[in-house]
Amino acid sequence: MPRYKPNNYWSPKYRIMTCLVCWTNERPHNAKGMCSRCLGRWRWKNDEKWKARTMSLTAAWRKNNPDKWKAIMRKANKKFNKS
Ligand SMILES: [Zn+2]
């Protein structure tokens, strides 16, 4: 049994079986009744401080890892051009 499902609740704290936004329990609960992906999206819309910090962290990482960043962008472009 996965560690994040005590008492069969996806989130015992919120007493819910799935993420409130995407209705799946594929990812572990993160916070506010949401999985990590939905929480990230929610924060992106609602948490300016978090967004600013994330963006500056991403920018710093990009600066320190230009080759990795290029690889990611190449992959993303491939995916985008396919569909
Ligand atoms: Zn979700």
Per-residue pLDDT of the chain in tens (83 residues, 90 and over written 9): 455 555 689 998 999 999 999 999 999 999 999 999 999 999 999 999 999 999 999 999 999 999 999 999 999 999 888 75
Integer CA distances (angstroms), 66 to 51, 58, 71, in order: 21, 11, 9
Task: Please tell me whether the overall predicted TM-score, pTM, comes out greater than 0.75 for this model.
Answer: no
SS in 3 state form for 33-46?
CEEHHHHHHHHHHH
CA of 48 to the centre of ligand 1 (A): 20
Residues 56 and 35: their CA atoms lie apart, in Å, by 23
pLDDT at 8: 81
CA of 27 to the centre of ligand 1 (A): 8
Residues with Cβ within 8 Å of residue 25, at least 6 apart in sequence: 5, 10, 17, 18, 19, 35
pLDDT at 12: 87
CA of 55 to the centre of ligand 1 (A): 22
pLDDT at 3: 59
Q: Tokens at residue 42, please? A: 């929610």
CA of 38 to the centre of ligand 1 (A): 4
